[in-house]
Amino acid sequence: MARASTESSVSDPVRKILHADCDCFYAAVEIRDDPSLQGVPLAIGGSADRRGVIATCNYPARKFGVHSAMPTARALRLCPQLKVISPDFDKYREVSRQIQTIFHELTPLVEPLSLDEAYLDVTQVSRFQGSATWMARWLKEEALARTGIVISVGAAPNKFLAKIASDWDKPDGLFVIPPERTESFITDLPVKKLHGVGPATAAKLDALGIASCRDLRIQPLDRLLDQFGKFGRRLHELAHGIDDRPVNVSRERKSVSVETTYDHDLPHLAGCHQALAPLIEKLHDRLARHGDPAIAKQFVKVRFNDFASTTQETGATGIIHARFHELLESAWHRGERPVRLLGVGVRLMPEPDHHQLGLFDDLDAPSTRLP
């Protein structure tokens, strides 16, 4: 095994990927600006009487079982003293911009995932004698010094391991998985830590007696393909530490959506209408994580039990619940069959070009804030 990894490091350049993730980002910004909130169970989210959900909460709140995407009303039942603050996205975007600037001082190869999270490819960085550990430490120090925000950083030879590493000793984490240790690290990893393994897949793996990557690795690929379709190959690769996804700099998010495949088909339109509310709630949460970007359209996706799919969309500048129901109505009438999957989403307004923003920055324009 050791021999194989030595060989690969000779033939292929081993990548160095960092994943940086702010700890409880929105909550951390609010605590920074109001230190009296320190140590108090705190959540950022919508208010309970408007069926809001929690976007972020701090660790004292997590001790009560509060977590993101939870309805605020439920969070308050779990933790009656919970302080709920409504989000100030302008402020979070500004802090995010400052942190992204630090990332870009290290490398131009930055892929933001949301306001508080990014991948960095530092393979070619020669500063810090090329040490990913040193770079990670520098990012943490600079972020804290310039913004007052704590970030956790993971370093590894690929994206999925870097992301696991940043989470490994959060909060205020710095965890490095060097190439020679990936083999042993992955072997003991629970499968539910793998990228793309949600609760349903984890349960299915568990039922097959597969709990760790060690269990997964001894499965014949054929069996995984049989059980999980195309994702079986992905599972096989991840269990062997293979993840060739590049850090994608030009990634531009064009839409945000959530969807659910139901265990049992929804037989009638009425059931579909009922199923929309939790989806819309999740969509609100996902948009909040992306800093509530400007919306151009909203859409509904329906997949019937014969696997025919249809999408119905309409122009919108914000989320209008009644409109999702109208869209569902017309999409459903295209098939009038039991439904196996429902999705709701929004298409976003195109973002201004970042390079142009950079130019304006140089000209010291009074405001480069996005509209």
Q: What is the DSSP string of 39-60?
A: TS-EEEE--GGGT-BEEEE-HH
Q: Please report how close the Cβ of residue 301 comes to Mg ion at its closest, in angstroms.
A: 28
Binding span for Mg ion by CB under 5 A among 18-26, 304-312, 337-345, 357-365: 18-26
Q: Which is nearer to Mg ion, 119 or 324 (CB)?
A: 119
Residue 44 in tokens: 């950022």
Q: Which stretches of the chain are DSSP H helices? A: 2-11, 25-33, 59-62, 72-78, 89-106, 132-147, 159-168, 179-187, 199-207, 213-217, 221-228, 230-239, 269-289, 321-332, 354-362
| Count, residues near Mg ion per rule CB under 5 A | 3
What span, in angstroms and rounded, lies between the C-alpha atoms of 71 and 347? 24
What span, in angstroms and rounded, lies between the C-alpha atoms of 68 and 311? 28
In terms of Cβ atoms closer than 10 Å to its own Cβ (0-12, 13-18, 19+), residue 49 is exposed
Q: Which is nearer to Mg ion, 116 or 243 (CB)?
A: 116
Q: Which is nearer to Mg ion, 20 or 189 (CB)?
A: 20
Task: Clarify whether 313 is annotated catalytic.
Answer: no
Known binding-site residue numbers for Mg(2+): 21, 116
Q: Please report how close the Cβ of residue 61 comes to Mg ion at its closest, in angstroms.
A: 15
Q: Please report how close the Cβ of residue 22 comes to Mg ion at its closest, in angstroms.
A: 5
**Under rule CB under 5 A, residue 285 binds Mg ion:** no
What span, in angstroms and rounded, lies between the C-alpha atoms of 216 and 221? 10
Binding span for Mg ion by CB under 5 A among 33-41, 112-120, 190-198, 339-347: 112-120
Q: Which is nearer to Mg ion, 164 or 235 (CB)?
A: 164
Q: Please report how close the Cβ of residue 320 comes to Mg ion at its closest, in angstroms.
A: 29
What span, in angstroms and rounded, lies between the C-alpha atoms of 312 and 302? 9
**Cβ count near 301 (within 10 Å):** 19
* Closest C-alpha to 253, from 280, 301, 288, 293: 293
Q: Which residues have C-beta within 8 Å of that of residue 350, sequence separation ≥ 6? A: 252, 254
Binding span for Mg ion by CB under 5 A among 15-23, 105-113, 134-142, 253-261: 15-23
Q: Which is nearer to Mg ion, 24 or 344 (CB)?
A: 24
Residue 336 in tokens: 């009038």
Binding span for Mg ion by CB under 5 A among 116-124, 135-143, 153-161, 196-204: 116-124
Q: Which is nearer to Mg ion, 160 or 304 (CB)?
A: 160
Binding span for Mg ion by CB under 5 A among 109-117, 141-149, 208-216, 346-354: 109-117
Single out the catalytic residue among 30, 111, 117, 142: 117
Q: Please report how close the Cβ of residue 86 comes to Mg ion at its closest, in angstroms.
A: 19
**Under rule CB under 5 A, residue 116 binds Mg ion:** yes
**Under rule CB under 5 A, residue 243 binds Mg ion:** no
Cβ-count burial 197-227 (b if 16+ within 10 Å, e if not): beeebbeebeeeebebbebbeebeeeebeeb
Q: Which is nearer to Mg ion, 99 or 276 (CB)?
A: 99
Helix axes 25-33, 89-106, angle to 10 degrees: 110
Q: Please report how close the Cβ of residue 43 comes to Mg ion at its closest, in angstroms.
A: 14
Q: Give the H or E element holding residue 302.
A: strand 295-304
Known binding-site residue numbers: 21, 116
Among 21, 111, 281, 285, binds Mg ion (CB under 5 A): 21
Q: Please report how close the Cβ of residue 56 comes to Mg ion at its closest, in angstroms.
A: 8
Q: Which residues have C-beta within 8 Å of that of residue 367, sequence separation ≥ 6? A: none
Q: What are residue 304's DSSP bridge partners?
A: 339
Residues with catalytic roles: 117
Footprint on this chain of Mg ion (rule: CB under 5 A): 21-22, 116
